[in-house]
Structure 1
Amino acid sequence: MLLQLKDSGELVKITEIQELLDPNNDTVHAKDQEGQEEQQTDSFKKENLIFPSGEDLPRCWLDANYRNG
């Protein structure tokens, strides 16, 4: 799955979808999608990621207590 960094607009490829879906994780592992060569895996804060369409990530992916508020 490709997501976009809010600040730079660069695309990153999520390597572990389960990390993204788990609201108890505030970071995910992903690879920058720049250049022709495969990039190293790096950690990214979920709060800094959006969908390439510009939409925010679902609250249930970010907040384990989303039903309480």
Structure 2
Amino acid sequence: NDGHLVEVLSLKDLFDPFNSEIVGRLHYGEELQDPDKFGKDNLQFQSGEELPACWIDPHYRDDEIKRTG
């Protein structure tokens, strides 16, 4: 998110692929920032890795299920 750290306030929302947004707080400066909504499509780990597909795509296993079904 523009290179700033975001404190995720609800891990449940982060892990739920049906939620496209999380509530978090930007971390910069010394003042505690107000909570805000952030789209998961704009988030990544500090290492630069994208979020896992199972956190953002509710259909990430559809192909696998069709093959075994």
TM norm structure 2 = 0.88
Structure 1: distance between partners of 2:11 and 2:33: 18
Deviation of residue 24 (structure 1)? 0.3
Structure 2: distance between partners of 1:54 and 1:34: 18
Aligned residues: 63
Which residue matches 1:51?
45
Moved over 2 A (4+): none
Which residue matches 1:12?
6
Which has the larger share of strand?
A: 1
Identity of aligned residues (%): 41
Of structures 1 and 2, the larger Rg is shown by 2
Q: Aligned to 1:50, what secondary structure does the other structure show?
A: coil
Which residue matches 1:37?
31
Structure 2: distance between partners of 1:48 and 1:37: 23
Which has the larger share of helix?
A: 2
CA RMSD of aligned residues (A): 0.7
TM norm structure 1 = 0.88
Unaligned 5+ residue runs, structure 1? none
Q: Aligned to 2:12, what secondary structure does the other structure show?
A: helix
